[in-house]
Amino acid sequence: MAEVEFKGKKFVVDEDGFLEDFNTYTEEWVEFCMKEEGIDTLTEEHWNVINILQDYYKKNGIAPMVRVLSKLTGFKLKHIYELFPSGPGKGACKMAGLPKPTGCV
Amino acid sequence: MAKHETPLLDQLESGPWPSFVSDMKLEAEVRAKNEAGIEFQIPVDVVDDLMGVLELSYVHGRTHWKHGGIVGVFGYGGGVIGRYCDQPEMFPGVAHFHTVRVAQPAGKYYKADYLRQLMDIWQMRGSGMTNMHGSTGDIIFLGTRTEQLEEIFYELTHNLNTDLGGSGSNLRTPADCIGSSRCEFSCYDTNALCHFLTNLYQDELHRPAFPYKFKFKFDGCPNGCVASIARSDMSFIGTWKDDIRIDQEAVQAYIGGEIAPNGGAFKGRDWGAFDIQKEVIDLCPTECMWMEGKELKIDNKECNRCMHCINAMPRALRVGQDTGLSILVGAKAPILDGQQMGSLLAPFVEVNPEDDYAAVTEVIESIWDWWMEEGKNRERLGELIRRAGFQKMLEVTGIKADARHVSEPRCNPYIFWKEDEVPGGWERDVKEYRKHHKR
Ligand code: HEM
Ligand code: HEM
Ligand code: SF4
Ligand code: SF4
């Protein structure tokens, strides 16, 4: 486990740069991840996706399926990739502080 | 001098089969000497450390890779399998050991020149070790570091015009048998269809949008050389509609012993002289063959196209000329609800490159529309078919139910009817009933 520091906040992350603990998420975390995830400026649409992922995770204890994320945000998958070049899993979920996707990836 | 002692692995260098241990040692040595003067981008001793960690696993009887790993390239949601060693201090060479799936050509035909260029990239930016090929079909680059992923991807796409393969909840890399490129049994050009659909569905392959993984495989005939019926959610198996073509002279040549049966496949042992009655006619599963004097006869309307007679006498019998393919759906490994092989969905589909295989893509896309909407998280198509029913799948694909859809009819009487099929529907008034039946 590595610890990274950004704007006075400390985050514990794994090798893939995912937060170890969802509760340690702060808005600085998103700013910290931006560059690594290929994002120049954060728009309202980015925050929209991040907030929806967090709400869903808090309510259901899992990340939404891609199809559900599209429905909730109103963004097609193509647009989600425009916002988050590494995609909804490695990009958006990581920035929202959700646990690392698992399974046969 | 090897970096780690590997007494257990060393035992696997004896025996006649090509030893993966000897090969790894060779690659470790090539890297250590580096006669080509390559600027290695990941640790030089990656192969030594891989042998070290493998030896440790042999001692412990346990894996030494951490759980999961999420890495990739921008724009794609899959293609790379991230992996980290759980003993990075002991084996720093494999602290990162990611696998890159590279899209392979249909039928896996290569030129030396192309493979050399692939290896030039991989020697420099990876471990130099590969899997030729992964079970799904991809060329597998085995072991590199995160920083190298975009570099490898850049060189593959810009210099080799080659893309990544699939991973995650998406369309995985399609694969095929060699088909008509080198097989006279092939009922359609598997290479062409596999290549066409791989290109057509690039988006579905690179950006996971499905409830779970989904695989295509293409067999040119029921022999199943790519095992599509067992290893793909959607299995495309070549077949024909008209008669088996018989060359009676060649039949006589088989009977006379001039041509060895099964292309000589059983020459390793003395099975006696070829006996067409015993080896072909009596083994036909539908008993639709017989000899009439010197003529071999087939009652083609009873033939189920099992391939046995054609396999036995390939120079006398040929598949028909009115060819196409069958589509079978739902094959999967045991997790979660038990293993499945493909079930026949479309008995005969036309294969027409002229109209971009419209008959084939129509079935694919109607299945996807349904499964993408109805499939639960991590539910394979085969499981959705079990949960929602085969009937539902016939409805969404617009395929009419017929006897070929079952190996036997159901034996339980729990039969659902649609309300509009039943006179009077489901809305009933118990008072009406009580007028005729007292409590
Ligand atoms: C025309 C009249 C009836 C029909 C068509 C009928 C049909 C059925 C069917 C299809 C089953 C399920 C069988 C199975 O488990 O495979 C069943 C079960 C049963 N029936 Fe009937 N039934 C009729 C009359 C009756 C009557 C009059 C009674 C009792 C007074 C009755 C009591 C039961 C019971 C207790 C079971 C449960 C058996 C079990 O699941 O272990 N049935 N019936
Ligand atoms: C203590 C009393 C009872 C017990 C423990 C009992 C238990 C059961 C069980 C275990 C089943 C099979 C359920 C299944 O296969 O999933 C069943 C089915 C059935 N029982 Fe009972 N039962 C009782 C009383 C009754 C009575 C009094 C009647 C009718 C007057 C009745 C009518 C039926 C019928 C019609 C079924 C078949 C339902 C179906 O297969 O869909 N049972 N019962
Ligand atoms: S599946 Fe049939 S067509 Fe394809 S290679 Fe095997 S025998 Fe030939
Ligand atoms: S293909 Fe099979 S079923 Fe058809 S005639 Fe030959 S052996 Fe019989």
Residue among B196, B176, B299, B178 at smallest CA distance from B243? B299
Please report, in tens digits, the pLDDT of each residue of chain A (105 residues total): 799 999 999 999 999 999 999 999 999 999 999 999 999 999 999 999 999 999 999 999 999 999 999 999 999 999 999 999 999 999 999 999 999 988 877
Kindly state whether residue A36 falls inside one of the protein's structural domains: yes
Torsion angle of the four alpha carbons B385, B390, B396, B401, in this order, in degrees rounded to the nearest 10: 160
What is the full DSSP assignment across B364-399?
HHHHHHHHHHHPPTT--HHHHHHHH-HHHHHHHHTP
Kindly state whether residue A105 falls inside one of the protein's structural domains: no
Kindly state whether residue B110 falls inside one of the protein's structural domains: yes
Q: Kindly give, in sequence order, each residue whose CB lies less than 8 Å from that of residue B83, ignoring residues fewer than 6 positions away.
A: B65, B66, B69, B96, B97, B98, B99
Nearest residue of chain B to residue A76 (CA atoms): B209
Which domain does A39 fall in, by range?
2-95
This complex has an ipTM of 0.90
Distance from the B139 Cα atom to the nearest Cα atom in chain A, whole angstroms = 17
CATH number at residue B212: 3.30.413.10
Same domain, B256 and B215: no
CATH number at residue B100: 3.30.70.2500
Q: Which of A78, A85, A101 sits opposite B70 (nearest CB)?
A: A101
Kindly state whether residue B438 falls inside one of the protein's structural domains: no
Kindly state whether residue B399 falls inside one of the protein's structural domains: yes
Same domain, B329 and B385: yes
Q: Which of A16, A67, A78 sits opposite B372 (nearest CB)?
A: A67
Which ligand sits closest to the CA of B415?
Answer: 1
Q: pTM for the whole thing?
A: 0.87
Same domain, B271 and B123: no
CATH number at residue A15: 1.10.10.370
| CB of B246 closer than 8 Å to CB of B288 | no
Contacts of A103 in chain B (CB under 8 A): 378
Q: How far apart are the first and last CA of chain B?
A: 95
Q: Kindly give, in sequence order, each residue whose CB lies less than 8 Å from that of residue B91, ignoring residues fewer than 6 positions away.
A: B49, B50, B52, B53, B85
What b/e sequence results for B35-73 when a residue is b if at least 16 CB atoms lie within 10 Å of its CB, and e otherwise? eeeeebebbebbbbbbbbbbbbeeeeeeebeeebbbbbb
Kindly state whether residue A101 falls inside one of the protein's structural domains: no
Kindly state whether residue A104 falls inside one of the protein's structural domains: no
Same domain, B233 and B264: no
Kindly state whether residue A13 falls inside one of the protein's structural domains: yes
Q: Give the residue, by CA position, lying nearest to ligand 3 atom 2.
A: B221
Same domain, B56 and B146: yes
Please report, in tens digits, the pLDDT of each residue of chain B (439 residues total): 689 999 999 999 999 999 999 999 999 999 999 999 999 999 999 999 999 999 999 999 999 999 999 999 999 999 999 999 999 999 999 999 999 999 999 999 999 999 999 999 999 999 999 999 999 999 999 999 999 999 999 999 999 999 999 999 999 999 999 999 999 999 999 999 999 999 999 999 999 999 999 999 999 999 999 999 999 999 999 999 999 999 999 999 999 999 999 999 999 999 999 999 999 999 999 999 999 999 999 999 999 999 999 999 999 999 999 999 999 999 999 999 999 999 999 999 999 999 999 999 999 999 999 999 999 999 999 999 999 999 999 999 999 999 999 999 999 999 999 999 999 999 999 999 999 999 9
DSSP B10: H
Question: Is-cis flag, bond preceding B336, omega within 30?
Answer: yes
Domain count of chain B? Answer: 3
CA distance A35 to A16: 14
Among residues A40, A59, A104, A105, the one annotated as catalytic is A104
Which domain does B375 fall in, by range?
175-239+325-419
CA distance B224 to B177: 8
Residue among B94, B157, B103, B92 at smallest CA distance from B126? B94
Contacts of B378 in chain A (CB under 8 A): 103
A104 in active site: yes
Kindly state whether residue B2 falls inside one of the protein's structural domains: no
Of B318, B343, B361, the one marking the end of a domain is B318
CA distance B379 to B343: 17
Same domain, B134 and B43: yes
**Coil, helix or strand at residue B77:** coil
Same domain, B278 and B361: no
Kindly state whether residue B426 falls inside one of the protein's structural domains: no
Pairing of strands B295-298, B317-318: unpaired
Kindly state whether residue B424 falls inside one of the protein's structural domains: no
